Amino acid sequence: MGKALDGVRVLDFTHVQSGPTCTQLLAWFGADVIKVERPGEGDVTRGQLRDVPNADSLYFTMLNSNKRSITLDTKNPEGKKVLEELVKICDVMVENFAPGALDRMGFTWERIQELNPRIILASVKGFGPGPFEDCKVYENVAQCTGGSASTTGFRDGLPLVTAAQIGDSGTGLHLALGIVTALYQRTLTGRGQKVLCAMQDAVLNFCRVKMRDQQRLDRGPLREYSQFGEGLPFGDTVPRAGNDSGGGQPGRILKCKGWETDPNAYIYFITQAPVWAKICDVIGEPEWKTDPNYATPAARLPHLNEIFTRIEAWTMAHTKFEAMEILNGLDIPCGPVLSMKEIAADESLYATGTLVELDHPTRGKYLTVGNPIKLSDNDVEVERSPLLGEHTEEILAEVLGLGGDEIERIKTSGAVGETVRLAAE
């Protein structure tokens, strides 16, 4: 079987997380991703949060699988010429520089189009056009400006950011979809175009249910929120709702057996209406099936705290896995709170390629997350991340078709810095 993006060449001018997430996904689908890095330095994450001395950090290795690395000093005239030649033959250029950085390098959209009118220029920025357009943005800033933090946490506590990287990785996923969409449109028009994904926009897209609730709030209280059952008034903005479900089926995180010593001995339990009778039976409250205070979803809303307290008394008598087995057998929706340690030990995730163990020439074996999107006809193995400049000579020769003398001249000019030579692996 082939690869979904066979023949697509991507010029990867990204760093840290949002851009590399996007280009790694394209590489997993078979695109030839050429990561352009500064000689001697490379992507800043190579050295951030380093756990093995003199080796690329996990921060870098887990975001740059299946890519090739070329070192290039774009301020060097020879380096700039090499970059121009790469622009001419690439299908996509992806960047997540600070606003205006690409223009200052001499690569305005107009100049890029002169070099290659079919290229897709894809950019991650913090904000779209508007008052904050020129501001730098990081993960947690995006979560705050996109509406996530204001609606995350408990009602009486601080706004909270989520551990899920919805600002960085979430934006990268959105941008990847924009790129493949633009590539498809190019088959119809023959033209390239710009693709922009702002981090604020991506986070807001993930938070659309809270924008839904903001509009509902104008018409009355949010009855599925805990504070409604507690008789507490709502303000004029969507409140933080703890672990209440964000949908129409009330849900909570509940303690399970061992919670006193295990910080993850919890389960998420949803009181889905179609299985309410089974819930009543399993927790030992069969009379709730006909009691007018509990029999219908609307009647239950003012009593959610009482209901979940009773359910929790049942879950606390079982481990999260015992509860999961019993509830799953009754089609009652639930899910254990799994720690990263538990997830890393789940053999089924390795079988599907969701988790992959790779071998790296300087750091040894490491665990990484594989492609979360499975295509039956996309046969691409997850490969380790490249060393800094590992493929410089290979790209100059194979991609640009340069001969040995020309490559030596470029190296002598200082345009590519020191090139990496690996012993046979």
| Other beta carbons within 10 Å of 415 | 23
pLDDT beyond 50 at 217: yes
Mean pLDDT of all residues in 226-254: 91
Residue 83 CA neighbour count, 13 Å, CB half: 25
209-218, 237-246, 340-349, range with the lowest pLDDT: 237-246
**352-389, pLDDT tens digit by residue?**
999 999 999 999 999 999 999 999 998 899 999 999 99
For residues 203 and 146, the answer to whether their CB atoms sit within 8 Å is yes
State the average pLDDT over residues 121-133.
Answer: 94
User: Which pLDDT does position 425 carry in this prediction?
Assistant: 40
Residues forming a β-bridge with 352: none
Quick: pLDDT tens for 292-308: 999 999 999 999 999 99
Cα three-residue angle 285-286-289, rounded to 5 degrees = 110
Q: Does 243 score more than 90 pLDDT? A: yes
pLDDT surpassing 70 at residue 418: yes
Contact 84, 9 (CB under 8 A): no
- Which range has the worst mean pLDDT, 144-148, 242-246, 265-269, 313-317? 242-246
- How wide is the angle at C-alpha 314 spanned by C-alphas 309 and 316, nearest 5°? 90
Q: Which two tokens stand for residue 410?
A: 């470029």
**Which residues line the annotated binding site?**
17-18, 38, 72-75, 96-98, 104, 136-139, 247-249
Q: Within 10 Å of residue 238's Cβ, how many Cβ atoms?
A: 22
pLDDT tens digit sequence for 162-201: 999 999 999 999 999 999 999 999 999 999 999 999 999 9
| Mean pLDDT value across residues 393-416 | 96
Mean pLDDT of 53-76: 96
Strand order across the beta sheet in which 32-37 lies: 67-71, 32-37, 9-13, 92-95, 120-125, 194-198
Going from the C-alpha of 420 to that of each of 194, 387, 411, the distances in angstroms are: 34, 8, 12
Residue 282 is predicted with a pLDDT of: 97
Q: What is the pLDDT of residue 136?
A: 84
195 and 182 in contact (C-beta within 8 Å)? yes
The pLDDT of residue 421 is 61
With a pLDDT cut of 70, the percent of the chain lying above it is 98
Would you say residue 321 has pLDDT above 70?
Answer: yes
In the structure, what pLDDT confidence band is assigned to residue 424 with cuts at 50, 70 and 90?
Answer: very low
First to last CA, the chain: 26
Give 152-171 pLDDT, tens digit per residue: 999 999 999 999 999 999 99
Residues forming a β-bridge with 206:
none
pLDDT score, position 128: 93
- Contacts of 397-400 with C-beta under 8 Å, sequence gap 24+, read 399/9, 399/34, 399/86, 399/89, 400/82, 400/85, 400/86, 400/89
pLDDT at position 247: 74
Q: For residue 168, indicate whether it is catalytic.
A: yes
Residue of 43, 91, 168, 201 marked catalytic = 168
Output the CA torsion sign for 403, 8, 373, 196: positive
Q: Half-sphere exposure (CA, 13 Å, Cβ side) for 197? A: 28
Instruction: Show binding-site residues for substrate.
Output: 247-249
| Both structure tokens of 206 | 């993930």
Q: Which residues of 262-293 are buried (b: 16+ CB within 10 A; e: fewer)?
A: eeebbbbbbbbeebbebbbebbebeebeeeee
Range 145-149 average pLDDT: 97
User: H/E/C letters for each residue in the chain?
Assistant: CCCCCCCCEEEEECCCCHHHHHHHHHHHCCCEEEEEECCCCCCHHHCCCCCCCCCCCHHHHCCCCCEEEEECCCCCHHHHHHHHHHHHHCCEEEECCCCCHHHHCCCCHHHHHHHCCCCEEEEEECCCCCCCCCCCCCHHHHHHHCCCHHHCCCCCCCCCCCCCCCCHHHHHHHHHHHHHHHHHHHHHHCCCCEEEEEHHHHHHHHCHHHHHHHHHHCCCCCCCCHHHHCCCCCCCCCCCCCCCCCCCCCEEEEECCCCCCCCCCEEEEECCHHHHHHHHHHCCCHHHHCCCCCCCHHHHHHHHHHHHHHHHHHHCCCCHHHHHHHHHHCCCCEEECCCHHHHHCCHHHHHCCCEEEEEECCCEEEEEECCCCCCCCCCCCCCCCCCCCCCHHHHHHHHCCCCHHHHHHHHHCCCCCCCCCCCCC
Instruction: Kindly tell me if the per-residue pLDDT of 261 is higher than 60.
Output: yes
**With 80 as the cut, is the pLDDT of residue 213 above it?**
yes
In the chain, % of residues over pLDDT 90: 91
Given pLDDT bands bounded at 50, 70 and 90, which one contains residue 99? Answer: confident
Both tokens of 342, joined, read 């538990």
